[in-house]
Amino acid sequence: MIKVGVCGYGTIGQRLADGVALQKDMELIGVADVAPTLAIRALKEKGMPYNLFLSVEDYRSDFEKLNIPVSGTMEEMVQKCDIILDATNAGVGAKNKEIYSKYEKKAIFQGGEKNSVADVFFHGYANYEKGIGKQFLKLTSCNTTGLIRAVDCLDRDYGIDRVAITIVRRVADPGDYHRGLTNALQIDKAPSHQAVDLMTIMPHINATGILIHTPVTHGHIITVVATGKKKITKDMALKSFLNHDRIRVVKISDGFLGNSSFFKYARDLGNPRGDMYEIGLWEDSIVETGDDIMFAINIPQESVTIPETVDGIRAACEMQTNRLEGVAKTNEYLGIGKWK
């Protein structure tokens, strides 16, 4: 059993802990955080299903006042683990790396950290092999993770030369107030980092993109125009997408009108927190435009990177050295594709 710890019990950290706990060949040693946040208080009310460790000592008295049991310090957790999933705020992970290095532990960092923090910029489907046996991996962002799933899917079946993307990006996660209350759209300078990141993972593809921030919280929508090495028809693209376990093909006529439709459906399914591991892809959006193929995908930003992070554990710890075997195990334990 590979022993795993999660540092940072926020939006991503909570979901990483739940995802690891579902893996039958991994053991979750515990989670570490700084202060008794609402997430930590909810953990206590749920009966402390995970051991809690303190990242720093500054707020220990606050934990004691709330009778929140603490199992030790983050360093003590790190020593018990084979690998750490660092889900702290951007920049904190780079500092924590010193602790992971001190105890010669492996670690996986989330998309907010700089690429230089890791040995490999990692995606489970696109470059699993490059992560095998490495000490430090860094995940792609939520948008890039979902984007690469779709582009890699077509690339492996037919070959892709270039893509042009437009990202309609949710401005903040539910419950975040630091962005302020807005009634406007904001455009970023092109190319977006997701296009640059895609080329880092898949250097044989030319990519460019534009990103637009929107005052919503449930999911991003990305439109993709892809140019294949040969013409890709709608039927060809649809066949590939339907065969991919982490892509859920839907129709507008079935009620999937937009980003909130996916969130509501996941919640109606009883998925914890309304999460969905798969990206949504509208069959109605797949169109041929000249020699190009165009489509639109929905990115559930809070949960989409969890499967690829678990893939990273499998690669870094050499649990499976074959890409398809590794992602298949992750999918099996997370229940991905069970709806097919």
Taking only the tens place, the pLDDT of each residue in 30-61 is 999 999 999 999 999 999 999 999 999 889 99
Class of the CATH-defined domain 142-299: alpha beta
Q: Is 33 annotated as a binding residue?
A: yes
Catalytic residue, chosen from 7, 81, 142, 317, is 142
Closest CA to 74 of 107, 41, 45, 119: 107
CATH 3.40.50.720 boundaries in the chain: 2-140+305-334
DSSP secondary structure, 156-222, as one string: HHH-EEEEEEEEEEESS-TT--TT------EEPPSSPHHHHHHHHHSTTSEEEEEEEEES--S-EEE
Taking only the tens place, the pLDDT of each residue in 256-299 is 999 999 999 999 999 999 999 999 999 999 999 999 999 999 99
Q: Is 153 annotated in the active site?
A: no
The 3-class secondary structure across 262-288, one letter per residue, is: HHHHHHHCCCHHHCCCCEEEEHHHCEE
Percent of the chain with pLDDT over 90: 89
331 phi, psi to nearest 5 deg: -60, -40
We find that the CATH architecture of domain 2-140+305-334 is 3-Layer(aba) Sandwich (3.40)
Taking only the tens place, the pLDDT of each residue in 17-28 is 999 999 999 999
CATH 3.30.360.10 boundaries in the chain: 142-299
